Amino acid sequence: MTVDHSRAPVLQALEDYHRKGRLGFTPPGHKQARGADPAVREVLGDSVFLGDVLATGGLDDRLTRGRVLQEAQELMADAVHAEHTFFSTCGSSLSVKAAMLSVAGPHEKLLIGRDAHKSVVAGLILSGIEPVWVEPRWDAERHLAHPPSAVDFDRAFEAHPDARGALVTSPTPYGSTAALEAIAEVCHRRSLPLIVDEAWGAHLPFHPDLPSWAMDAGADICVTSIHKMGSGLEQGSVFHLRGDLVPPALLGMRADLLGTTSPSVLIFAGLDGWRRQMALRGKELMGSALGLAAEVRAAVEEIDGMHVNDRDDFCGPELADGFDPLPCVIDVADLGITGYQAADWLRGHRSVDAHLVDHRRIGAQITHGDDRETAGELLSALRDLGRAAHGMPAAPRMEVPQPDELRMEQAMLPRDAFFGPAEEVRVSDAAGRVSAEMITPYPPGIPAVLPGERLTGPVLRYLSTGLAAGMYLPDPSDPGLETIRVVDERAAG
């Protein structure tokens, strides 16, 4: 059957809604901008409000007989070689939870790469799933993690034959990717499903020079953030399904359990329009982005003290299996400054925002929305940063643990530790105690501490010195990290 990717069902239905002059006595209460505050309308523009209509009983009728959303999802599935696609307006943070809940339930085991995003840990807390952590491949020289290998997952299944499936993150926010086909084979040999958190991989299906993406590699469920590397709106996410290991109706039920009953048509429209854009012009647009990224990477290498991590840095027998060049991860350690200092200077002095920021790197992601003008602004700002770095204060000292010091014992289920009896103790007294909270350097959002993990001195010193150096920790109960929430072991028995 020929699929017409020039269609955009959500956008066309929205156009029809306005053409017919529909008058809604329903939410949203702003009534097509008429009730919105004039100052808000001036900043946002009326187009935002005009696109904000009720999904059921507005964009479509009360029984969804127009099949607007269903057709948009079917077109998305076809564009990326999936069998089923579900739209989410709550970001991949929700989508990955729905995927996890469709594979495992309370007190059932799920193999998970320990470099998972905090949304995965939130899923563990809500569900009561027991994580079996699979170690990432740590680059001790650069102090970063790459996805676990297929062999790592195979060994974990051998040790935990009752596990219900596996979850791997690929690409990472740094652009390194896993051997998804080999990991899928490890799972399918046992008739178990593979979930891929591919939040950073929306663009991967659309150019042959990019790493293989999850559906083509044989994964069962794939979660993708369209707003990260695509051109959807923030919170726009999709999860795709193929094969018969996870019933589509079950995945839909789990998503319904978590999702909002008031989805944003604006976000749906962004997802629908992005799919059409990529289906019709994806290879051309991604090819241009790859060419521009290559130029940017070469130019950054010419700046004294800066190095763009490349395939040779990230890929190898004990490192990553693949590499996406678009994130453009820039190491600034040789400038004598931290990534935090670099990001703050770029924003404060050149109005340029970096995304990924850690103790020695910044990320300058290039997408199909960039051109030579934006690339030129970035490079000019980076050159100025290179010159200004020599006059900056000495980089605050951070105690970054070695790989073998990063891992802590999972002494309790994340849910039991998070919801159980807890107390606050000083960080200096916390080593040996079991954490009752999550602590996450952000971005990239990979927790350094999980509920249920037994705290160690090296990890606590890393967080304390990191906070003093400019690390952003959005989730600890004490933002100053003078105290930490731990399990009250006497009350817990």
Asked whether residue 384 is domain-assigned, the answer is: yes
In a domain, 105, yes or no: yes
- The answer on 249 and 287 residing in a single domain is no
Q: Would you state the pLDDT for residue 395?
A: 83
Q: Is-contact 123 129, C-beta < 8 A?
A: yes
DSSP state letters, 40-54: HHHHH-HHHHHT---
**Residue 2 located in a structural domain:** no
Domain assignment of residue 462, yes or no: yes
Sorted by sequence, the CB contacts under 8 Å of residue 106 that are 6+ apart come out as 127, 128, 129
Q: Is 199 helix (H, G, I), strand (E, B) or coil?
A: coil
- Does 1 map to a domain? no
pTM of the model: 0.94
Q: What is the pLDDT of residue 492?
A: 66
Low-confidence ranges of the chain (pLDDT < 50): none
CA distance 485 to 315: 38
Domain assignment present for residue 3? The answer is no
225 occurs within a structural domain: yes
Query: Same structural domain for residues 272 and 289?
Result: no
What's the CATH code of the domain at 20? 3.40.640.10
Give residue 218's identity as a one-letter amino acid code.
Answer: G
> Based on the domain organization, do 162 and 208 belong to the same domain?
yes
Same domain, 327 and 182: no
Q: What is the C-alpha separation between 164 and 101, in angstroms, rounded?
A: 11
Residue 33 shares a structural domain with residue 149: yes
pLDDT score recorded for residue 490:
82
Q: How many angstroms separate the first and last alpha carbons of the chain? A: 62
Same domain, 225 and 191: yes
pLDDT for residue 406: 84
What is the predicted pLDDT for the residue at 493?
Answer: 62
Residue 437 located in a structural domain: yes
Last residue of some domain: 218, 251, 277? Answer: 277
Same domain, 385 and 458: no
Last residue of a domain, one of 391, 424, 457: 391
The pLDDT of residue 1: 65
CATH number of residue 387's parent domain: 3.90.1150.150
Q: Note whether 99 and 152 are same-domain residues.
A: yes
Note whether 200 and 287 are same-domain residues: no
315 and 370 share a domain? yes
CB contact at 8 A, 146 and 319 = yes
Domain count, the chain: 3
Looking at residue 443, what is its pLDDT? 85
- Asked if 61 and 93 sit in the same domain, the reply is yes
Domain end position, chosen among 277, 311, 326: 277
Q: What Rg value do the Cα atoms of the chain yield, rounded? A: 23
Domain that holds residue 120: 9-277
Q: What is the pLDDT of residues 339-394, one digit of tens each?
A: 999 999 999 999 999 989 999 999 999 999 999 999 999 999 999 999 999 999 98
Structure token digits, residue 387: 């010159």
For residues 204 and 287, state if they share a domain.
no
